[in-house]
Structures are given as C-alpha cells and as structure tokens.
Amino acid sequence: MKAFDYAAPRTLREAIDLAANGRSTLFLAGGTDVIVQLREHRRSCDLLIDLKHIPELTSITVAPDGGLEIGAAVPLAAIYEHETVRRAFPALVDAASIIGGIAIQSRATLGGNLCNASPAADSSPALMVLGATVTAAGPNGTRTFPVEQLFAGPGRNTLQPGEILVSVRIPPLPRGAGAFYHRFIPRNEMDIAVASAGAYLRLGDDGRIADARVALGAVAPTPVFVPAAAEALVGREPTSEAFAQAAAAAREAASPIDDMRGSVAQRRHLAGVLTARALQSALERIRAAHQ
C-alpha cells in the first residue's frame, strides 16, 4: 500500500477545503471498499479524508412529512435497526441487511455502497424504485439529484472532483404503496448479486395499479430502470398475468455480461423471475398494511 496522509474533519466545510488542496484525495465513509482497494493497489491517494465525524453525514432524520434523510456515512446496521426505517421503508431494509455480513454492516455505509458504483450493488435498485434523491456538496456548492444519476459505469460515479455525497433522501410512501428488493446469489450471505430487482407499486382506490417502478441490478453497466415494465402494469389489476408481462419487459431490458458468477442467459432469465417476485412481494406488503 502506498503511504498517504489521513485527516478526520469535524465539519463538511473542512472536508471540502481539504479535498480542494490539489492533492490526490479519497474519502472514507465506512472503509470496507476503499481500504481493500488501497491495499490491493487498485486505487491510490495522497490524502484519505475520514467522513465519519461530520454530523450531516452521520445522522438519520425523519422529516415532518414522513420522508427520510440518511447521512452518507451512517452504517448499514444503524439504518436497518432504525424503528422508522423498519416500519415505513422495509424495501430499504431488504437491501441494507444483505450487504456483506453483520460485521461488515456495522462499518459499511449507504453512501459508500452508492459511490462505489458497482452495477451489482444492493442499495441502488431499492433506492431507485423508492424515488430517492442524493445531495452532494463541493467547492461549487450543493446540488440534489435523483439517485440513478449518480452512476456513470462500473466503479464510476458522477460526483465532481472534490465533491462529497452528503445524504440520501427518500420521500414518504403514499397511501396504497409498497416496495420490495430481491436478488439472486449462489450462497446465502456475503456474496454479490448475480441479478437483482427492485419493485414499487401504488394501488388506486379502485384496486388497479396507479403507479409502478422496476429497477434492475447486475444486468447492465449501471443499475437501470425498466420503463416498459411500469407501462405494462399501470392501469391494470395486480395479477400474476400483469406481473408476467412486466417480467418479460425486464428480460428485454437486461443487457448483462458473462462472468464467473453467471451467464448472459442466466442473468436475463433471473431479471424476469426476480421482477415478478419483487412485484408480488410489494403487493403483499400493501395488502398487509391494510389488513
């Protein structure tokens, strides 16, 4: 590992100023990815900036409207153990509780998982279907944008030089809405998704699907929305036939690669299977909430 300096700023402004000093800089939120990358010489830096002491990045806030704001350096375990998250945002628990093992989850962060920009990251499809936005701050100010715009390609995000991911905001789920995240892995834990799907449904007063979102992971260079799947659902009864049509759209949208974890054919098949299952599970959550 190449030698580097370490800094632990206490304010966001201090962190931004440190990153603007002209040196090669990396940020540490949980460290479960970046430390490994440094040790394996896949990344290098002159300065490692620890973000775990900055209040905006280490807090979970429930807004008056029921929305949720999660600091980018909040550990995954603190997220899925949070009472409001468990009650109101179970799809986020679906994702946060399966990223690595328990020991990893006590350190790894939601912001780190997003910024690492793996196409197979578990947090990305779940947050996309939940309508999440992210806020970033840097030398040019602060900006907020949809989470799906954070991903530029495998291992590449769209943050500008010196820019820090500050928080993730999830709007409240409206009445009659539910979401679910599902993945396939060859082992029971601590593995990377071969394929994954997040699904969101909102039922109207007539029981038909008023809104829908489907996002896939590990089947393209970035996590992807499947607009055709939503189009196959809106206005219809939430039946297995409707979900099968959405699953077919997901298979068509998948553009996976062959690698040691799965083939193109397997991943495309799984995109459909997981979409149908995630939609059915989202529907079951809606029905359970109204029993």
What structural domains and CATH numbers belong to the chain? Answer: 5-50 (3.30.43), 55-170 (3.30.465.10), 177-289 (3.30.390.50)
Q: Is the pLDDT of residue 240 over 90?
A: yes
**pTM of structure:** 0.95
Please name every residue paired with 216 in a beta bridge, in sequence order, or none if there are none.
Answer: 197, 224
SS3 144: strand
pLDDT of the residue at 232: 97
pLDDT of the residue at 189: 55
- Least confident piece of the model among 33-37, 135-139, 224-228, 254-258: 33-37
Q: How buried is residue 69: exposed, middle or buried, by Cβ count under 10 Å (0-12/13-18/19+)? A: middle
pLDDT of the residue at 85: 97
pLDDT of the residue at 188: 61
pLDDT of the residue at 228: 98
- Least confident piece of the model among 31-40, 48-57, 82-91, 147-156: 31-40
Give ∠ CA 190-271-198 in degrees, rounded to 5: 70
Measured CA to CA, the distance from residue 171 to residue 155 in angstroms comes to: 27
Mean pLDDT value across residues 138-162:
96
Q: Is the pLDDT of residue 190 over 60?
A: no
What percent of the chain clears pLDDT 90, i.e. is strictly above it? 86
Q: Is the pLDDT of residue 52 over 70?
A: yes
Measured CA to CA, the distance from residue 86 to residue 83 in angstroms comes to: 5
Handedness of CA 198, 202, 206, 209 (dihedral sign): negative
pLDDT of the residue at 31: 87
SS3 200: strand
Q: pLDDT tens digit string along 4-37?
A: 999 999 999 999 999 988 789 999 999 888 888 8
Q: At 225, list the tokens.
A: 């929305």
Q: pLDDT tens digit string along 83-127?
A: 999 999 999 999 999 998 888 999 999 999 999 999 999 999 999
pLDDT of the residue at 284: 98
Sequence-distant contacts of 98-104: CB under 8 A, at least 24 apart: 98/122, 98/183, 98/189, 99/123, 100/32, 100/76, 100/190, 101/189, 101/190, 102/77, 104/32, 104/76, 104/190
Average pLDDT, the chain: 95
Measured CA to CA, the distance from residue 248 to residue 268 in angstroms comes to: 10
Measured CA to CA, the distance from residue 98 to residue 214 in angstroms comes to: 20
Q: Is the pLDDT of residue 74 over 90?
A: yes
Mean pLDDT value across residues 224-232:
97
